[in-house]
Structure 1
Amino acid sequence: MNGVGFLMVVICAVALTALANRRGWPGPLVVVAVASAVSFIPGLPRMELPAQLILAVVLPPLLYSAALELSFVSFRRDLRPILSLGVGLVVFTAVAVGFAAWGIVPSLSAGGAFVLGAVLAPSDAVAAVTLGRRVGLPNRLMTILTGESLVNDAVALVAFQLAVAAYAGYRPFIAQPALLACYSVVVGIGVGLVAAVVVHQIRPRLHDPALETVLGAIVPFAAYLAADQAHASGVLAVVAAGFWIGHHNADAAFATRLQSRQVWRTTDLLLEAFVFAYMGLQVRTILDAAVGEGAGPAMLVLAVGVVLLVVVLARPLWVFTPMLLVVPRRISWRAATVVSWSGMRGVVTLAAAAAVPATTIAGAPTPDRNLIQAIALLVAVLTILLQGATLRPLVRALRVSDAAERRRADADLSRALRVARKAAHEVTARAAASGNAVEAATLALIERRIAHVLTAAPHRLAGLQETAPAAEQPAHELVQQILAHQRRALIRERNRGRLDDEVLRAVLQQLDYEEAAACTDLRTRL
């Protein structure tokens, strides 16, 4: 398929996503279902991308965007369930799928079966975030699911590398599995942090929001490729860089934050639509290749059914059997049920399946490669269609909500607003005491305006109608001083552990809009 074909796929996928959103349907399900049906159109050109291109170009911005938006404070608080799901569950699923596939498919060797297990082990960050937002999961569950998806990709890719080495005879960078895992994790995280710190130091010196945004957009690709060149985990490098930049994003200029937010939302929309469409369009091609390799339809259906059952059941078994180790006690059984049903597969499974080498180290064709790819792709598509379609009814039936989380979020928001109002009052009081050229009436209006903006934050801002203060130069400078002082005060609260990242970002977004409006008004009047 040529460039025009790829462009048409993206356009159609975005159009389907828009239609699904308008109808209230889950976009990924609609795109996957339609693309799977389209793949059976006779004469349709084959759409195929190299696995390395998917891993190096498609995956990094999706992971980076998710890490940017994930609260590091919340991630650290829920580190135990995240690591249990992101590490322990990956190993458990890979082993369970490997034994099941080895037992059910006569032609599949033990090595090939465990390659399939490693391919299907990780759940997908894109599917988890996209569907989780659509069904309105509580923030705590979103943190656990997103954090798990960010961690398990790296673990699964290391497991995949070891399984492929044993299966096809290739020698990994480090032969000892434990040492390879440690090296991949430590060096990957280190590379990501170095890239993030360098960008964080350079960005304020550019004094150009467009250049700062472009520099930020380069980070996930640079981190991934640098770690990959060092034979470390590019996934963890991207995640580490995203966490660092996201945690320190409050230090950036307001225009950079506003631009970056829109850039990543647009990028997410395009890549998510493309990924789900690409998965669906591979169905016919992979099925034909597997059948051509000698896999009978009956055997393929049986293998896909058994492996799908194992993939789906492994998750609740892991979540509920050792529940005290996996899920903290303060998470209800209803929430744990939702976690256990949120194991959709996606882009990493797709890329890993495509990365199974075509030949062994001896140059012979890799046995059952097409069968492995067919089972992996079909199971991934079915998890999206099955679990994705039933997740919203499950959430509604269980009435999953977190009253304590809502109370905590309301308390954090109230604390943030108090801190911001106090900071605004401190600046206006100093201005009045120092005989600032701004009239007292204007001082009062500025303080009232910003208090109104904060009171309307964040979800009630649409109703804000109060007239802005006159954009004279002294008043404009005072507004900027107030907003800068408020940001510093809010960041201090966050750094002291008194404010969550998500609340900080919500309030900062309102202050960014207020400063943008003030600057626009000043330029208009001048």
Structure 2
Amino acid sequence: MEILTLMGVLAGSLGLTAFARRWNLSAPLLIVLVALGVSFIPGVPPVELDPELILTLVLPPLLYSTSLDSSFSQFRATLRPIIALGVLLVVVTALVVGFTVHLLLPDLPLASALVLGAVVAPPDAVTAVAIGRRLGLPRRLMTVLTGESLVNDAAALTLYKITLAAVLGTAGSIGHGFLVFLVAAVLGIAVGLAGALLVGLIRRKLDDPLMESTIGIIVPFAVYVTAEHLHPFSSDFSGSGVLAVVAAGLYLGNRSLHAGPATRLQDSSVWASIDVLLEALVFALMGLQLPFVLESVQSNARDNGTLVVCALVVLVVTMAVRIPYVFLSATLPQAVRLFGRERAAPSWRYLTVLSWTGMRGVVTLAAATGVPLVTATGDPFPGRDEIQLFAFSVAIGTVLVQGLTLPTLIRVLKVRDPGEAERDEAEELEARSAAMKAAMAKLDELLPEMLSNLDISEERAEKLSARLKALVETRYRGAVAAISLSAEEREASPHAAFTRARKALLITQRETVLAEREAGRVDDDVVRKVLRELDLEELALTNALTSRLS
């Protein structure tokens, strides 16, 4: 892929993302649709998807960013459904799709059909999570979706390697395949945790937010490549780079709660920008693969009608196998606690939405593109064209069919957790109350210190302490009052009016400083320093108001 073409794809996909965010649309769906249309335009340079680029440079940072934002406690609490969906369902999907394709095309070797099954097995939750957040899906459901997306790529790519080895003639027994999977999981998690512990130690010693964030950007690539290139026994065995990234992200994300405020804010901005960039790129690349798929169809010896029918069947089977699996898993004795500690089975509405969130993504296309041209004997890889065609059909088909209908399904079923907002408010009140009491106690401790270290009278020190206490109490009371008000009441409240007035004053200050610069009375370095302080204060005001009105 030429650099100029790549820059054009990035620019176009980011423009579509900005448009989608402005009008509250689904950016992945819009990008895929436009990319499909662009691929039909004569003269558009072909943009072939490079599997090495996707699996080494795109997948690790996306997984790492998601892991950083995931709650380790929630991940652990929903580990059973995550494993059920992210590992077991991947295996079930691969087997069902593989045997279905083998029945449809008996001349296609079963091993090649199972390669296809492994390719289309892992759902990509990017679209589902984006829709779920916009429509307010319950946190438990979002945790399961996110956790599944963190695990299923590792299971599918390991299964992909095993089935690929079977076609190439280098595979061992079923026990050997299970051992390959076990080693990949254990070694990948070990590498991820070791890397995270090392990075955590380095970051604690640095106390430099810029360097801490820079090192954080390297982490997903370092642990992924290290795990993938570790071969403890032979070339057949290696660690799972995906699990290494997930383990490192979960650990460092949990530790980030104890990091400095500057590091946390900077990390949040950096990874949010990286997410937008990479997600826009991968969905654009998905849609632009259509010419290569059509080329493989034209060179295939099979009848086009047969290939189209088989592609549709594979798409339907891939989507359908998830539905009964999700409902069946919820009826099993151990599955009634999948969504928490309660013993009541999850609502059928939850399960319906969960069963319809099986959109495939760029990993499916990257794995299909990475299928070798020839086997170990030099013969053409059996069914390579079919694998690429069916993988493209499943990836694009699930994104369009399920992605377009999922918002309607969520609205019709009214999937909500009615008590979630109340629980959040109660926990927020408890946290703020504890913080306020601790701050008041700390102020009482600081008063003697102020008297001994500062050359001020006791009366003045007490006034200073009272002002600090009043500031803490005012912010606490404002937060408590805001929690008890509706969105409309919050917007019309004195606190919101006060916030808007402060923001207007900050804007005036900023404009004045810039006017002083234009008049040549203030140096640029001084202007940047003053603007940074004003920007941080306005950002704090804007975020506080937005969180209350959302």
Q: Is the 8 A contact 1:283 1:378 kept in 2?
A: no
Match of 1:391 among 399, 406, 423: 406
3-state SS in 2 of match to 1:17: helix
Aligned to 1:57: 57
Provide TM-score, normalisation by structure 1.
0.85
Counterparts of residues 424-439 of structure 1 (less than 5 Å): 424-436=439-451, 437=454, 439=461
3-state SS in 2 of match to 1:322: helix
Q: Is the 8 A contact 1:105 1:299 kept in 2?
A: no
Structure 1: which 5+ runs fail to align? 469-512, 519-526
Counterparts of residues 306-455 of structure 1 (less than 5 Å): 306-325=313-332, 326=335, 327-328=338-339, 329-436=344-451, 437=454, 439-453=461-475, 455=478
Range with greater deviation from structure 2 (259-268 or 436-445)? 436-445
Aligned to 2:259: 252
Aligned to 2:209: 209
Q: Distance in 2 between matches of 1:126 and 1:446?
A: 45
Aligned to 1:46: 46
Residue by residue over 1:242-271, the C-alpha shift from the partner in whole angstroms, topping out at 9 and shown as x without a partner, is 000000102211111100100000000000
Q: Which amino acid aligns with 2:437?
A: K
Q: Is the 8 A contact 1:453 1:464 kept in 2?
A: no
Aligned to 1:494: none
Counterparts of residues 85-484 of structure 1 (less than 5 Å): 85-171=85-171, 176-230=176-230, 231-325=238-332, 326=335, 327-328=338-339, 329-436=344-451, 437=454, 439-453=461-475, 455-456=478-479, 465=499
How far 1:182 moved relative to its partner? Answer: 1.0
Q: Distance in 2 between matches of 1:172 and 1:212?
A: 44
Residue by residue over 1:8-60, the C-alpha shift from the partner in whole angstroms, topping out at 9 and shown as x without a partner, is 10111011111122222211100001101111222322212431221110000
Provide TM-score, normalisation by structure 2.
0.81
Q: Which amino acid aligns with 1:228?
A: E
Q: Is the 8 A contact 2:191 2:244 kept in 1?
A: yes
Aligned to 2:5: 5
Aligned to 1:481: none
Q: Distance in 2 between matches of 1:453 and 1:383?
A: 47
Residue by residue over 1:383-425, the C-alpha shift from the partner in whole angstroms, topping out at 9 and shown as x without a partner, is 0111111111111100100123333322222221122112211
Residue by residue over 1:484-506, the C-alpha shift from the partner in whole angstroms, topping out at 9 and shown as x without a partner, is xxxxxxxxxxxxxxxxxxxxxxx
How far 1:450 moved relative to its partner? Answer: 4.0
Larger radius of gyration: 2
Residue by residue over 1:130-166, the C-alpha shift from the partner in whole angstroms, topping out at 9 and shown as x without a partner, is 3322332221111000101111111111111111011
3-state SS in 1 of match to 2:419: helix
How far 1:274 moved relative to its partner? Answer: 0.3
Q: Which amino acid aligns with 1:441?
A: K
Q: Distance in 1 between matches of 2:397 and 2:244?
A: 30
How far 1:292 moved relative to its partner? Answer: 1.1
How far 1:172 moved relative to its partner? Answer: 7.7
Q: Which amino acid aligns with 2:366?
A: A
Q: Is the 8 A contact 1:62 1:126 kept in 2?
A: no
Q: Distance in 1 between matches of 2:23 and 2:263?
A: 33
Q: Is the 8 A contact 1:63 1:238 kept in 2?
A: yes
Q: Which amino acid aligns with 1:217?
A: I
Q: Is the 8 A contact 1:170 1:360 kept in 2?
A: no
Q: Distance in 2 between matches of 1:113 and 1:323?
A: 29
Q: Is the 8 A contact 1:341 1:391 kept in 2?
A: yes
Residue by residue over 1:153-185, the C-alpha shift from the partner in whole angstroms, topping out at 9 and shown as x without a partner, is 111111111110111223489970121111111
Percent sequence identity over aligned pairs: 45
What's the C-alpha RMSD, in Å, of the aligned pairs? 2.5
Q: Which amino acid aligns with 1:192?
A: G
Q: Cα 1:172–1:247, aligned 2, differ >3 Å: closer, same or farther?
A: farther
Range with greater deviation from structure 2 (354-363 or 434-443)? 434-443
Aligned to 1:78: 78
How far 1:320 moved relative to its partner? Answer: 0.9
Q: Which amino acid aligns with 2:386?
A: L
Aligned to 1:490: none
Residue by residue over 1:464-510, the C-alpha shift from the partner in whole angstroms, topping out at 9 and shown as x without a partner, is 73989xxxxxxxxxxxxxxxxxxxxxxxxxxxxxxxxxxxxxxxxxx
Q: Distance in 1 between matches of 2:131 and 2:282?
A: 14
Q: Distance in 1 between matches of 2:475 and 2:105?
A: 63
Structure 2: which 5+ runs fail to align? 231-237, 455-459, 504-535, 542-550
Matched length: 474
Residue by residue over 1:83-142, the C-alpha shift from the partner in whole angstroms, topping out at 9 and shown as x without a partner, is 111111111111111111111234422111111100011111433333322332221111
Q: Distance in 2 between matches of 1:294 and 1:447?
A: 80
Q: Distance in 2 between matches of 1:135 and 1:11?
A: 28
Aligned to 1:21: 21
Q: Cα 1:462–1:213, aligned 2, differ >3 Å: closer, same or farther?
A: farther
Q: Distance in 2 between matches of 1:176 and 1:284?
A: 38
Q: Cα 1:516–1:302, aligned 2, differ >3 Å: closer, same or farther?
A: closer
Q: Is the 8 A contact 2:191 2:226 kept in 1?
A: yes
Q: Is the 8 A contact 1:358 1:365 kept in 2?
A: yes
3-state SS in 2 of match to 1:47: coil
How far 1:363 moved relative to its partner? Answer: 1.5
Q: Cα 1:296–1:423, aligned 2, differ >3 Å: closer, same or farther?
A: farther
Q: Is the 8 A contact 1:304 1:375 kept in 2?
A: yes
Q: Cα 1:35–1:453, aligned 2, differ >3 Å: closer, same or farther?
A: farther
Q: Distance in 1 between matches of 2:539 and 2:413?
A: 43
Q: Distance in 2 between matches of 1:445 and 1:75?
A: 42
Q: Distance in 2 between matches of 1:413 and 1:281?
A: 46
Q: Cα 1:445–1:385, aligned 2, differ >3 Å: closer, same or farther?
A: farther
Q: Cα 1:279–1:51, aligned 2, differ >3 Å: closer, same or farther?
A: same
Q: Cα 1:451–1:390, aligned 2, differ >3 Å: closer, same or farther?
A: farther
Q: Is the 8 A contact 2:297 2:389 kept in 1?
A: yes
3-state SS in 1 of match to 2:48: coil
Q: Which amino acid aligns with 2:248?
A: A
Q: Which amino acid aligns with 1:402?
A: D
Range with greater deviation from structure 2 (38-47 or 455-464)? 455-464
Q: Which amino acid aligns with 1:425?
A: M
Q: Distance in 2 between matches of 1:235 and 1:333?
A: 32
Q: Cα 1:172–1:33, aligned 2, differ >3 Å: closer, same or farther?
A: farther
